[in-house]
Structure 1
């Protein structure tokens, strides 16, 4: 899980930032990042001089998003627990049960495949590959977040039947 450690360090995820990112608004608005980034890259030629400023704004939004929301009053929501589970995976890997490893390997493989498909679609300006890659990325990321909820609940002895 070196990639997650790199990402956490690159995004300067302090304890305060992780707590703010556990706000469901942060999680759900983060879903907007990939489609907006892909749209910017897809229409790069049409945007001409606007491409770089828009790309910079999007990258800043990706960095700023976990910081711009208040800490949640409760962490009972699925979205909050997905962030807390991810934090456990990154910083307390030894607490994660071994039965999660094969699934996380499949998720990582799928994310790699869908990223490659999306990048190839963007490079060749091919809409089917781009859209299928993007859809695969979003669905696989959602699966990853759901697995993080499972890890969080299992690690903290939260019941898996809690309503979120």
Structure 2
């Protein structure tokens, strides 16, 4: 079972959605969802059932986030490259990725998965230590995974014209493309 492909299908990502999700605002606000969700759930201690309102709002935001922001004018930044790497990884059956990237993605996803039950336990039991530990493990694993996707994109854009085109600025004002140490 490919968890990544399932997530992509559930979010109904198409070319336009991926282009919009490459906006750094989309990437960073999405990264903030889990910590804010933890706070919203934890707030039940203070506000009771009213905590469901921010939890529901965050669920809606998570669904619309990839389409909320316009495509970046200049996608040559860490956050956009991370999104491109995720697309490359999802396309790994059509265009194979190096084994070391597949192993790293599996390990980092597993680390994230280890944090989720710890986090859930902490939230259910109201234990701050477990909640914080689970959040650090889950969010840390996810951010490390996302950073690894930047590396994957750097390697794969060297072998695919399609992948390399994703770095082209979207505005009419073209700037010279710079080559940096991270590839493409």
TM superposition score normalised by structure 2: 0.82
1:111 aligned partner? 112
Is the contact made by 2:22 and 2:80 (CA closer than 8 Å) also made in structure 1? yes
Once the two structures are superposed, the pairs formed by residues 118-157 of structure 1 within 5 Å of their partners are: 118-157=119-158
Residues 61-96 of structure 1, C-alpha deviations (whole Å, 9 max, x = no match): 111111111101122101000001101111234431
Matched, 1:98 2:99: yes
**Larger Rg: 1 or 2?**
2
Q: Matches of 1:106 and 1:115 in 2, distance apart? A: 15
Partner of 2:60: 60
- Partner residue of 1:80? 80
Tell me how far apart the structure 2 counterparts of residues 144 and 61 of structure 1 sit (CA, whole Å): 22
CA distance in 2: counterparts of 1:48 and 1:126, whole angstroms: 17
Structure 1 moving runs of 4+ over 6 Å: none
Distance in 1 separating the partners of 2:81 and 2:96: 16
Instruction: Assess if the C-alpha contact under 8 Å between 2:30 and 2:65 holds in 1.
Output: yes
| Structure 1 unaligned spans of 5+ | none
The number of residue pairs the alignment matches comes to 163
The aligned counterpart of 2:14 is 14
Mark the CA change 1:115 to 1:60 in structure 2 (over 3 Å): closer, same or farther: same
Distance (Å, rounded) in 2 between the aligned partners of 1:141 and 1:15: 23
Query: Is the contact made by 2:33 and 2:62 (CA closer than 8 Å) also made in structure 1?
Result: yes
Secondary structure of the equivalent of 1:95? coil
Question: Cα RMSD between the aligned structures?
Answer: 1.8
2:106 and 2:70 map into 1 onto residues whose CA distance is 33
CA apart distance, 1:125: 0.9
Structure 2 gap ranges (5+): 159-163, 165-178
**Pairing 1:70–2:90 present:** no
Displacement of 1:143: 0.9
